[in-house]
Amino acid sequence: MSQPCAITACKRTSRALCYCCQQSICLQHLKEHNDLLVFQLNPLVDQINTIGDRLKAISIENKIGNFRQNLEQWRMDCHKKIDDFFEKKCQEISQRVSGKIQNQREEIDQIQSKIGALIREEEVSRQHIDLLTSTVRTIDQDVDNFEHINFSIKIQPLVIDDSLIDIGELNINRFDLAKMSPACKTINYTDRSWVSLASNDRFLLMHQLPDLCLIDQNFKIVRQTTWNHGDFTDICWSSSLNRFIIIGEKDVFSINEKTMSVDKFVTLSKRNWHSCTCSDSSLFLSTYELASSIIEYNLLPTMEIIKEWKSPVTCQKEEWITDMKYNNGSITLMIKNSSENTLFIELRNIKTLDRLWSFKMDCMDLQKRAFNCCLLNDEELLVMDHDSDRLVHITKDGRMKSSCEYKSPPLCATLFGPDIIAISTNKGVNFHKF
């Protein structure tokens, strides 16, 4: 039995069944129906072309740059261990040979001394001559044997197990504030320690008065050095310099992670600095004042000023910048207005400081302390709301994803490796796995 056309308002009898959507269509609407289905493919074509363009734009060198740097560091460390081991074994052989030669020389010196004494005293006897002749013959045989001696060196081939380096993919979306576990480790602060933190792929830098301490991923202090350069407000890591950067009251310092040496950047102007962040080529510093400025410095080959942004481009005259974080061509600013008790979290273009998005937080008392944020995976943010004793998770497009209470007012945080976040409080640094 024939059925009416499935197209609304069409009174004709259907003449065909569309096997794609199981609708009965009249002849007049059949082509129109087919054209409509084909038309729906066009957005998919545009979408897949856009995805293909995004894939083409991904730089393999940029993606593997940091990982290659880690492998290069591992290779240099291994080469040094091999060189040290080689020198140790060469020294061992040298000591064995020189020890035997020294023993022979001492025996020869003793015989020469005895013969000289007998000649001077002119009391030589046949017994002396026989004994000395036998001793000299023995020494001669020993030296002859030593001249023909060969050392046996058993060298095992160096076996490199492929499991020494495990390359796996990270789940960049794993962080979930609602499921954050209790601290797996806490390192307590000493009195009057500064709470700023920074990390690279291997270590976390923290302050334990009177020292700067380098913490490995086993939560052990591996290196430390006395910090005697006064107060500091922020720390960041520069992959270009391969150093930590510390912001003092008016000076800026770098920390060598291998030697823990502290060097001051003498070419930088003396300002009331407050926060810092690094791109691949630049260091960004904000000033500690209302209507804060942001100054960009070139990192290499020398530290020279590139540009200074001032109010109102950076913030309004009654506002100041409490924290900055660079990521992937943009910079996140934490801007607080103490008179209105508001905090703005803004993502800006790194070249122009044009605003990409802004998120407003209402707070009870912004006079307490500067607010800080931490970059998470997938360009998301974790905000330290010490005012309300909570953590706030912000999406990469500037929306609140979630929030939760924290047992102590959180002050600063940083990712430490692929699955650990370090959060500082007045009492110490808590390490959470996720």
pLDDT, residue 70, reads 78
C-alpha to C-alpha distances, 356 to 44, 282, 314, nearest whole angstrom: 27, 21, 13
pLDDT, residue 368, reads 52
Identify the bridge partners of residue 187 per DSSP, sorted by sequence position: 429
Show pLDDT as tens, one digit a residue, over the chain (434 residues): 678 888 778 878 777 877 777 788 887 787 777 777 788 888 888 888 888 888 888 777 777 776 787 788 888 888 988 898 889 888 888 888 888 788 888 888 888 888 777 777 777 778 877 787 888 888 888 777 777 777 677 888 888 888 778 776 655 547 888 888 899 999 999 988 999 999 998 899 999 999 999 999 899 999 999 999 999 999 999 988 999 999 998 899 999 998 999 999 988 888 999 999 999 899 999 999 999 999 999 998 888 999 999 999 999 999 999 999 999 899 999 999 878 888 999 999 999 999 999 999 876 655 555 679 999 987 899 999 887 889 999 999 999 999 999 989 999 999 998 889 999 999 999 999 88
Rg (CA), the chain: 37
DSSP line for 303-318: -EEEEEE-TTTSS-TT
Provide the 3-class DSSP secondary structure of residue 434.
coil
C-alpha to C-alpha distance for 149 and 96, rounded to whole angstroms: 12
pLDDT, residue 169, reads 62
Place of tokens 């291998």: 258
Helices (H), 266-305: none
In degrees, rounded to 5, the angle at the alpha carbon of residue 334 between the alpha carbons of residues 376 and 188 is: 60
Place of tokens 């998919």: 44
Measured distance between the N- and C-terminal CA atoms of the chain, rounded to whole angstroms: 63
The total of other beta-carbon atoms located within 10 Å of residue 136's CB is 14
pLDDT, residue 1, reads 60
pLDDT, residue 171, reads 52
pLDDT, residue 176, reads 86
Select from 178, 179, 106, 185 the least CA-distant residue to 139: 106
